[in-house]
Amino acid sequence: MLASARIFALLVLVAAGCWATNSEVRANEGSQTNSPILAGLTASVTNLMGSRHLQPNDVLEVMVYQEPDLATKVTLDDRGMVALPLIGPIKLAGLTLEQATAKIRDMYDKDYLVNPKVTIQVDQFAVLRFTVLGQVQRPGSFEFPPNESLNLLEGLAMAGGYTRLAAPNKVTLQRNVNGEVKVFHLDADAMARDKINKPFQLLPSDTVTVEERVF
């Protein structure tokens, strides 16, 4: 019910934004500041429909019906592992709650219980952050919304959008991939105008920098 309410609220915001700007389309046709925010709101509706994958430092409550001795609260370690009664260490990072539940149920069913009914609840999501620097209104570090993915346009909107000196077509993103820093050169302005392809997705610890226009 909560997710449905949030989706409805976002749809209302998007519709309101479209109505309010319709009469100013020609005046704002070249604007680089407002388009990513509106696109970000639209993309958020899609994100709410998806499922978050479990991450290190997520805190879970695992329960097995009519097996109170197996109930436990666990925290995913930095490798995404947890230790469960009878089963021992098991990797859950990268799985959705549905996938993690099925994996634990299958392991109990294989060696210990007959048709176990496993329930997993997230007691606390890990705090996932990304950083936005350069020509944005509020540079700094920001948290990913719980249980949601986030794209580049939404991240820029969270940083307040562009300054008047920003070059939205010149955005760099630094990402640590298996211990190696990768640099992506992105055109956020083109993403905001693209109605077919999804914007670039952010990951925890990404650093986004909006460059300055050359006059």
Q: What is the pLDDT along the chain (215 residues), one digit of tens a residue?
A: 434 444 444 443 344 444 444 433 333 333 333 444 333 433 333 333 336 789 888 999 999 999 999 999 999 998 899 999 999 999 999 899 999 999 999 999 998 999 999 999 999 888 889 999 999 999 999 998 866 789 999 999 999 999 999 999 999 999 988 778 999 999 999 999 999 999 999 998 899 999 999 87
Do the Cβ atoms of 77 and 93 come closer than 8 Å? no
DSSP letters spanning the chain: -HHHHHHHHHHHHHHHHHHHHHTTTTTTTT-SSHHHHHHHHHHHHHHHHS-PPP-TT-EEEEEETT-GGG-EEEE--TTSEEEETTTEEEE-TT--HHHHHHHHHHHHHHHT-SS--EEEEEEE----EEEEEESBSS-EEEEPPTT---BHHHHHHHTT-B-TTEEEEEEEEEEEETTEEEEEEE-HHHHHH-SSSPPPBP-TT-EEEEEEPP-
Encoding tokens for residue 171?
């955005």
Q: Are residues 181 and 85 in the same domain?
A: no
Pick from 101, 124, 147: which residue ends a domain? 124
For residue 168, the Cα-to-chain-centroid distance in whole angstroms is 21
The reported pLDDT for the residue numbered 103 is 96
Q: Are residues 117 and 139 in the same domain?
A: no
Q: Are residues 110 and 171 in the same domain?
A: no
Is pTM beyond 0.85 here?
A: no
Q: Are residues 139 and 80 in the same domain?
A: no
Domain that holds residue 37: 2-50+127-212
Q: Are residues 76 and 143 in the same domain?
A: no
For residue 138, the Cα-to-chain-centroid distance in whole angstroms is 20
The reported pLDDT for the residue numbered 147 is 66
Q: Are residues 34 and 64 in the same domain?
A: no
